[in-house]
Structure 1
Amino acid sequence: MGSVLTNPLRVGLRQERVIPPQCLVIFGASGDLTHRKLVPALFELFRQRRLPSEFAVLGCARRPWSDEEFRGKMEEAMASEVAEHRVAWEQFAAGLFYEPVDLEDPPSVVRLGQRLEGIDRLRATRGNRTFYLSVSPNFYGSGCRSLAAAGLLSDPSRSRVVIEKPFGRDYGSAQELNRVVQTCAQENQIFRIDHYLGKETVQNILVMRFANTIFEPIWNRNYISSVQITAAETVGVEERAGYYESSGALRDMVQNHLTQMLALTTMEAPGRFDPESMRNEKAKVLQAARLANEDEPWKCCVRGQYGPGGSSTRPIAGYRNEPGVNPESTTETYVAMKLFINNWRWQGVPFYLRTGKRLPKRLSEVVLTFREAPVHLFDAAGGAPTPNQLILRIQPDEGAEFKFEVKAPGSGMRSRPVDMAFSYDDSFGEPSDEGYVRLLADAMLGDPTLYTRSDEVEAAWRLYTPLLELIEDAPSQLPVYPYEARTWGPAAADNLLAEDGLAWRRP
């Protein structure tokens, strides 16, 4: 018998699939993503004993580092983790290597192939390679061409390529990029990453819906009146001004992260839980999505940009005062919009999406608001019963919350809202994996379930193309409203819902 202190909900955790021997090749190894996310995620997989002994990481960039310099840079970036797990780090770091590579220089890529052959012999990785393009989006197409020309993508059973976001800048460029990479590799070798899909609670949307009969029968237009999807950040642009100035919140967050949460929330149940069945349903629901007003798209979208805020002792600079930002920039740091999905399940239900930087609280959540009871039999503490809501918390405090009415104490028959909450940390006794841990493992396993397929990417870009065209061609029709840092965005975003007699949920 197990200990009485054992949490029964933890039984069966970490029964993970075995990652086969291979070498993970990271292009852009001198960049921020490698230091902050990729190598820490790989080290976490190593400490969980999920990496095989026949494993290696080959960092690639233009800088002329040696293997030891690369190991030293990674150790410096992960100082606290290394100090806590010194022995494990020494074992892990023995599998870290570095090769100076310029993806635009064919001889350099040929030398990469020769180095990989040497690592195969040294680490017994058996010719299995996962190539991770953590580089500027400008090099996604040319990078794939270079790898293909060097013969490094010729075996679909032993090579795959992971491509970071953003995959394209609009519908046309996404189509062209898909055409290029699909001439270099088969679709089952191409892994377009969206790190939100690696979050445990994003995946939990599927389990909540399709594993519980109490939810699925009411997950439709007959019972749900509206849906809000929020991804709020307290940070500003930080050191990403160069990228952000050419991207903005619409490209950086809405087209990928929020749209994937929308797809998981609204898709039909797949016939079975396999990669293609899942991605078929996501693609279908995104193809049915549309802006709330296609004839006048500026009426269903609000753009904002944070200005100065904070306090006299802790002032916060406005976006235009951030290093590297154009002082007259019209790049949006906030977007709110209204969508519909034209299908049998969701016809007429409004979906409100919003994301922004320098907001009061960091959170990502999906809020489903249910229709009111047809007759109000009881007085309510606030004047009218609060609509039932199911809140799926993606981050932080991962979990779910259900708001419903109960009888208030006393002799009268008055109702009041209460919460029923579930927390991942409280229930399972351990935090969930960071998104890149799951996604890197899946890529190395060759499992594309949580990666986006070409038609998904194109459907998402097609949805937002009218807004992107307005920003480029008629920016006065979609102006950027200022909002004070650490507030919930411009007032115009509140009006987007007020027109429907609704309001954003204030966490």
Structure 2
Amino acid sequence: MVSRVIPVDPFDLVIFGGTGDLARRKILPGLYRRFIAGQMPEDARVIGAARSELDDEGYRKDVRDALKEFVSKRALSEENIAAFLSRLHYVSIDAKGEGGWKKLAQTMRDDDDVVRAFYFSVAPSLFGDLAERLHLHKIAGANSRIVVEKPFGRDLESAKALNATLAEHFDETQIYRIDHYLGKETVQNLMAVRFGNVLFEPLWNAQYVDHIQITVAETVGVGGRGGYYDKSGAMRDMVQNHLMQLLCLIAMEPPSRFEPDAVRDEKLKVIRALEPVEPGDIVRGQYEGKGKTPSYHDDVEDGESRTESFIAMKLHVSNWRWAGTPFYVRTGKRLKARQSEIAVVFKDAPHSIFGEAAGRHRNILTIRLQPNEGMTLGVTIKEPGPGGMRLVDVPLDMSFADALGPEGDEIPEAYERLVMDVVRGNQTLFMRGDEVEAAWAWTDPIIEGWTKRDERPFAYEPGTAGPEESAMLLHREDRRWREIKE
């Protein structure tokens, strides 16, 4: 199956932090894949900017190494690599000083038809310096766009300050706050399934949905980024942004059009409809090492840390569509398997004609974000064979790699899709400033609450589904978490 290529305008994309880990792992390999897909115009250019003292050839060598490490071998050819690298340039730059800025200004093309995009793949503390110097040296103008990575602050106050800093030099229509979860094929297909099929939308409410589960489980610990993580924890690192965005797409009302502000207006309504969370509906945990596996305290080098590496919560959206339907979210490090999924669990049939012996059967729509992106709808059928009416649950499965044929494993990754959306000027899959602030306004009181209560997270063993206490969030209401499968 050959995907339809949507052309983009000529562009100059500057990657601040162009030698960093994110650029090497995600941004540049993603751009290469878009290049070989024919989606980069002939005169598109990518300009790396960082402190390292490199010239164009040195940078191209570094990017060549990154491509060979992070791009599948069958997508690599010397001809394609050489052609892609010829689009790359490099400027050594001082984000807080004046070094390199004149050279960057001279490197940019003076052509109103060329989109200027600036990817801030750096610490948020540098956003203001970069924005100020882009304008001071007249590098950014009305046709320019900036991409900023999370964290978008660490609380409401800092988020407002960050938004204000960016707003000094850029209009909201020029700011692209990137959350790579929204670039996943399955996440976008969630909107297509909901709003493109009459089958689902009439059932997408409290009358028919018993509850919804959102799980983002990771097998890795926080080693290597313990300094950052211990100041953030699972709540700030994952729930306030990634899981919040998934919840919004599940719970939002149909927008009037599939356009940036129409979609983001509906997401904002969901965040503002979230109820405060009761202490009894929150379970926090820390992994406790076993054998050679380090504990959380070892990874962050703080034996007294009370930062959570796991969190599970029961949430409620106070509106007509979802009144009475709980949303259960959980995320954690060093869990049983790497798994991200959304499960919409529908209610039991109002009356079973098959009697108690048939057992309990429910329809569950499962949206898998990773691994093996796809969707599964569980339906109940008669078990084949003689012996009476025995019921069994079977999946109607759509794995994208299977459904889309031999090229299914080359579905664009999140970053490459989102970077191309920046060039197109499409903000649909990016967060707006008021969205970010509303999310922090809901998050801050929850964090302040457990801080004042001086609560210690529950310990859990690596390789499990988290602390046993999290199961009680559902067990007490005769529900169960879906299994995290290895």
Q: TM-score range by the shorter chain?
A: over 0.9
| Maintained 8 Å contact 1:22/1:125 | no
Q: Which residue of 2 aligns with 1:476?
A: 454
Q: Which residue of 1 aligns with 2:161?
A: 176
| Maintained 8 Å contact 1:56/1:125 | no
1:485 counterpart (448, 453, 462): 462
1:378 counterpart (354, 362, 365): 354
What is the deviation of 1:247? 1.6
Instruction: Give the letter aligned to residue 398 of structure 1.
Output: E
Write the distance in 1 (CA, Å) between the matches of 2:59 and 2:306: 39
1:302 counterpart (283, 287, 300): 283
| Maintained 8 Å contact 1:63/1:100 | yes
Change (3 A) 1:210 1:308: same
Which deviates more from structure 2 when the two are superposed, residues 185-194 or residues 64-73?
64-73
Q: Which residue of 2 aligns with 1:148?
A: 135
1:112 equivalenced with 2:112 (yes/no)? no
What is the deviation of 1:106? 4.0
* 1:271-282 alignment, distance < 5 Å: 271-282=256-267
1:20 equivalenced with 2:9 (yes/no)? yes
What is the deviation of 1:242? 2.5
Q: Which residue of 1 aligns with 2:26?
A: 37
**TM-score normalised by structure 1 residue count:** 0.90
Change (3 A) 1:201 1:354: same
Ranges in structure 2 where 5+ consecutive residues have no aligned partner: none
Instruction: Give the letter aligned to residue 503 of structure 1.
Output: R
What is the deviation of 1:375? 2.3
Q: Which residue of 2 aligns with 1:494?
A: 471
| Maintained 8 Å contact 1:303/1:336 | yes
Write the distance in 2 (CA, Å) between the matches of 1:349 and 1:102: 51
Q: Which residue of 1 aligns with 2:239?
A: 254
Alignment root-mean-square deviation, CA: 1.9
Write the distance in 2 (CA, Å) between the matches of 1:343 and 1:235: 37
Q: Which residue of 2 aligns with 1:202?
A: 187
Which deviates more from structure 2 when the two are superposed, residues 34-43 or residues 98-107?
98-107
Q: Which residue of 2 aligns with 1:327?
A: 303
Which deviates more from structure 2 when the two are superposed, residues 266-275 or residues 372-381?
372-381
1:387 equivalenced with 2:357 (yes/no)? no
| Maintained 8 Å contact 1:229/1:352 | yes
Write the distance in 1 (CA, Å) between the matches of 2:134 and 2:287: 41
Instruction: Give the letter aligned to residue 138 of structure 2.
Output: G
Q: How many residues align?
A: 477
Secondary structure of 2:336's counterpart equals coil
| Maintained 8 Å contact 2:270/2:317 | yes
What is the deviation of 1:416? 2.4
**TM-score normalised by structure 2 residue count:** 0.93
1:363 equivalenced with 2:350 (yes/no)? no
Secondary structure of 1:246's counterpart equals helix
Write the distance in 1 (CA, Å) between the matches of 2:124 and 2:361: 46
| Maintained 8 Å contact 1:340/1:348 | yes
What is the deviation of 1:25? 0.5
Secondary structure of 1:78's counterpart equals helix
* 1:198-277 alignment, distance < 5 Å: 198-277=183-262
Which deviates more from structure 2 when the two are superposed, residues 49-58 or residues 282-291?
282-291
Secondary structure of 2:343's counterpart equals strand
Instruction: Give the letter aligned to residue 320 of structure 2.
Output: W
* 1:313-462 alignment, distance < 5 Å: 315-322=292-299, 325-379=301-355, 384-408=359-383, 409-429=385-405, 430-431=408-409, 432-462=411-441
* 1:44-83 alignment, distance < 5 Å: 44-80=33-69, 81=71
Which deviates more from structure 2 when the two are superposed, residues 106-115 or residues 411-420?
106-115
| Maintained 8 Å contact 1:153/1:184 | no
Secondary structure of 1:277's counterpart equals helix
Secondary structure of 2:257's counterpart equals coil
Write the distance in 1 (CA, Å) between the matches of 2:11 and 2:112: 4
| Maintained 8 Å contact 2:9/2:114 | no
Partner deviation per Cα, 1:371-402 (whole Å, 9 max, x = no partner): 11222332466x73122211111111111111
Q: Which residue of 2 aligns with 1:3?
A: none
Write the distance in 2 (CA, Å) between the matches of 1:27 and 1:108: 12
Write the distance in 1 (CA, Å) between the matches of 2:105 and 2:477: 59
Write the distance in 2 (CA, Å) between the matches of 1:106 and 1:187: 26
| Maintained 8 Å contact 2:119/2:148 | yes
Partner deviation per Cα, 1:77-114 (whole Å, 9 max, x = no partner): 22254973111011111111111112211454344222
Partner deviation per Cα, 1:167-214 (whole Å, 9 max, x = no partner): 111112112211221121111100000000110000011011011101
Partner deviation per Cα, 1:212-248 (whole Å, 9 max, x = no partner): 1010000000000100001111122242222212221
Partner deviation per Cα, 1:354-376 (whole Å, 9 max, x = no partner): 11111111111111111112223
Write the distance in 2 (CA, Å) between the matches of 1:19 and 1:221: 42
Write the distance in 2 (CA, Å) between the matches of 1:153 and 1:469: 39
Partner deviation per Cα, 1:46-80 (whole Å, 9 max, x = no partner): 11010011111111111212212211111122225
| Maintained 8 Å contact 1:245/1:325 | no
What is the deviation of 1:427? 0.8
Ranges in structure 1 where 5+ consecutive residues have no aligned partner: 1-9
What is the deviation of 1:343? 0.8
Write the distance in 2 (CA, Å) between the matches of 1:153 and 1:489: 47
* 1:5-16 alignment, distance < 5 Å: 10=1, 13-16=2-5
Write the distance in 2 (CA, Å) between the matches of 1:17 and 1:419: 34
Write the distance in 1 (CA, Å) between the matches of 2:476 and 2:444: 24
Instruction: Give the letter aligned to residue 36 of structure 2.
Output: R
Write the distance in 2 (CA, Å) between the matches of 1:403 and 1:82: 33
Instruction: Give the letter aligned to residue 59 of structure 1.
Output: G
2:85 counterpart (85, 93, 97): 93
What is the deviation of 1:321? 2.1
Write the distance in 1 (CA, Å) between the matches of 2:135 and 2:336: 46
Instruction: Give the letter aligned to residue 192 of structure 1.
Output: R
Write the distance in 1 (CA, Å) between the matches of 2:163 and 2:346: 39
Instruction: Give the letter aligned to residue 445 of structure 1.
Output: R
| Maintained 8 Å contact 2:277/2:446 | no
| Maintained 8 Å contact 1:379/1:415 | no
- Percent of aligned positions that are identical: 40
1:103 equivalenced with 2:81 (yes/no)? no
Secondary structure of 1:330's counterpart equals coil
